[in-house]
Structure 1
Amino acid sequence: MKNLTASEIERLKGYNPTRYQTYLIKMNINGNMLYLTDRDAPVFYGGVYYQPGYITSDSIDDIEVTSEPATNEFNTTLDARDGAFIPYFLNKGWNNSEVTVYEQHADELGVIVTLNVFEGFIDSRDIFKETRKIDAVLASVWADFEKQAGTKTNSGSHQKYYPDDTAFEHVARAKRKIYWGKNAPVASSSGSSSGSGRFDLPRITQQV
Structure 2
Amino acid sequence: MARTLTTAVSNHLATNDIRPIHLLSIGFSTPVNLTDNSFDLTSSISGSSKTYTASPFLISVPEFEEQTDVSKSSINILLSGADTTFISVVLNENIVNDTVELFRGFLDSNNALIADPILLYSGNIDTFQIEESTNSSSVNLAVVSHWADFEKKSGRQTNNNSQQRFFSTDVGMDFASQTVLDIKWGRK
2:108 paired residue number: 107
Aligned mates of 1:119, 1:20 — CA distance in 2 = 22
Larger radius of gyration: 2
Question: CA deviation digits over 1:62-107, x for unaligned, max 9?
Answer: 1333555431111121011233332111124122221111111222
Q: 1:103 to 1:3 in 2, by over 3 A?
A: closer
2:40 paired residue number: 42
1:121 paired residue number: 124
Aligned-partner residue type, residue 36 of structure 2: D
Q: Is the 8 A contact 1:35 1:49 kept in 2?
A: yes
Question: CA deviation digits over 1:125-174, x for unaligned, max 9?
Answer: 2112212111121111124755xxxxxx334x359x6xxxxxxxxxxxxx
Deviates more, 1:65-74 or 1:131-140: 65-74
Over the residues paired in the alignment, what is the CA RMSD in angstroms? 2.6
Q: How many residues align?
A: 148
1:204 paired residue number: none
Aligned mates of 2:79, 2:85 — CA distance in 1 = 13
Gaps of 5+ in 2: 163-188
Aligned mates of 1:144, 1:24 — CA distance in 2 = 26
Aligned mates of 1:145, 1:83 — CA distance in 2 = 34
TM-score w.r.t. length of structure 2: 0.67
Identity %: 22
Q: 1:140 to 1:44 in 2, by over 3 A?
A: same
TM-score w.r.t. length of structure 1: 0.61
1:167 paired residue number: none
2:168 paired residue number: none
Aligned mates of 1:125, 1:119 — CA distance in 2 = 17
1:133 paired residue number: 138
Aligned mates of 2:9, 2:58 — CA distance in 1 = 28
Aligned mates of 1:3, 1:116 — CA distance in 2 = 10
Question: Which of residues 53, 56, 65 is equivalent to 2:56?
Answer: 53
Q: Is the 8 A contact 1:103 1:117 kept in 2?
A: yes
Aligned mates of 1:67, 1:116 — CA distance in 2 = 16
Q: Is the 8 A contact 1:38 1:54 kept in 2?
A: no
Q: 1:94 to 1:64 in 2, by over 3 A?
A: same
Question: CA deviation digits over 1:2-41, x for unaligned, max 9?
Answer: 2532x6423202532xx21111111112x22111111111
Aligned-partner residue type, residue 20 of structure 2: Q
1:179 paired residue number: none
Q: Is the 8 A contact 2:101 2:122 kept in 1?
A: yes
Q: 1:127 to 1:144 in 2, by over 3 A?
A: closer
